[in-house]
Structure 1
Amino acid sequence: MTQPPHDEQTTSSPEELREQVERTRAELGDTVEALAAKTDVKARAQDKAAELKEQAAAKAGKLKEQAGEQAGEMKAKAADLAHRAQDKLPDPLKDKAAHAADQARAGAAHAGQLWEDKAPEPVRHTTAQAAQLARDHRNLLLAAAGAAAVVTWLACRRSG
């Protein structure tokens, strides 16, 4: 132990010494805990991973919101452009486009009928279930795709 400075009183009562020892023990315990926390690499890595996960979730939510807003804007612009283009088309061309659309619908209906006629029942049933499940959970699928895109973007950004 080090000697106290000469101007400090060196005689202490036993009670004061006990209190000083207890304070020193408490400080030493806190110091050891702090050092142990700094050397616990696994815990620090888990904390950092949780922090990054929270940041990614927040960023994904923000990007999803922005994507929704931009999609609405783009949809409105596309509809406006489509109406403008349609207004500028000559009538014979409009008639040809309508006829081509009718033929495409008929072709799709024919393909659907062929599917109904040729595909085995278990395959048709499973396909119908999968399509219904996708329709029922469209928002979840879009959110998952958005989150996957964000995670991929973050991973590419980090590695690049």
Structure 2
Amino acid sequence: MTQPPHDEPTASSPEELLEQVEQTRTELGETVEALAAKTDVKARAQEKAAEAKEQAAAKADELRKQAAVKARELKAKAADLAHQAQDRLPDPVKDRAAQAGQLWQEKAPEPVRAKTAQGAQLARDNRKVLLAAAGVAVVMWLACRRKG
């Protein structure tokens, strides 16, 4: 006969022996299930794919948030630069610009003025996009200027 392991006490009654046998069966079943799960390549591949999908979704969400923050920063920077440029214009230049605008209204043909007004309205409707594009252009210009 075989000897019981040294770390397990021997059963003193048949009920105890049955209980130990049942516990050993349960442990053996769990071990077999764990081994079967490790050898199920398809299931493991699906688990890895699901995990990778979750990580990709989390990273995409993080990048989306970072892009939104950066866009807000660029928009604010572009608006600030536009205000600074406007503030730096001398009064005579501002006056000349106003005169040019008035002359345009008086001298330009109606179809040209209509198209210009339509373009201006389109620009106002897409102000955020235009400001973001202007901000990107200014940042790129500054970056290129620093390199040169």
Quickly name the TM-score band, shorter chain normalised: 0.5 to 0.7
Query: Partner residue of 1:45?
Result: 45
CA drift of 1:88 comes to 3.4
Residues 108 and 49 (structure 1), Cα distance of their counterparts in 2 relative to 1, 3 Å cut: farther
| C-alpha contact 2:11 2:17 (8 A) present in aligned 1 | no
Count of residues in Structure 1 that have an aligned counterpart in Structure 2: 107
Which residue is 1:106 aligned to? 115
Q: Counterparts of 2:80 and 2:9 in 1: how far apart (Å)?
A: 90
Unmatched tracts of structure 1, length 5 or more: 111-160
Q: CA deviation at 1:23?
A: 1.5
User: For 2:28, what is the secondary structure of its paired residue?
Assistant: helix
Q: TM-score w.r.t. structure 1 length?
A: 0.49
* Cα 1:72–1:10 shift into 2, 3 Å: closer
Contact 2:4–2:10 under 8 Å retained in 1: yes
Q: Given the superposition, is the C-alpha separation of residues 40 and 108 from structure 1 closer, same or farther in structure 2, using an over 3 Å criterion?
A: farther
Could you report, residue by residue, the CA deviation over 1:38-61 in whole angstroms, capped at 9, with x for unpaired residues? 111221221222222222222222
Q: Aligned equivalents of 1:45 and 1:11: distance in 2?
A: 44
Q: Which amino acid aligns with 2:115?
A: A
2:34 matched residue in structure 1 = 34
Q: Counterpart amino acid of 1:52?
A: A
How far does residue 109 in structure 1 lie from its aligned partner after superposition?
6.1
User: Aligned-pair RMSD on alpha carbons?
Assistant: 3.9
Q: How does 1:5-154 map to 2 (within 5 A)?
A: 12-89=12-89, 91=93, 95=97, 106=115
CA 1:9 to 1:26, structure 2 compared with 1: closer, same or farther past 3 Å? closer
* Counterparts of 1:69 and 1:77, CA distance in 2: 12
Tell me how far apart the structure 1 counterparts of residues 117 and 25 of structure 2 sit (CA, whole Å).
82
Whose RCO is larger (CA < 8 A, sep 6+)?
1
For structure 2, the residue ranges without an aligned partner over 5 or more in a row are: 120-148
- The alignment's TM-score, normalised by the length of structure 2, stands at 0.53
Structure exhibiting the larger radius of gyration computed from Cα positions? 2
Amino acid at match of 1:19: E
In the TM superposition, residue 35 of structure 1 has moved relative to its aligned partner by: 0.6
Match of 2:4, SS state, is coil
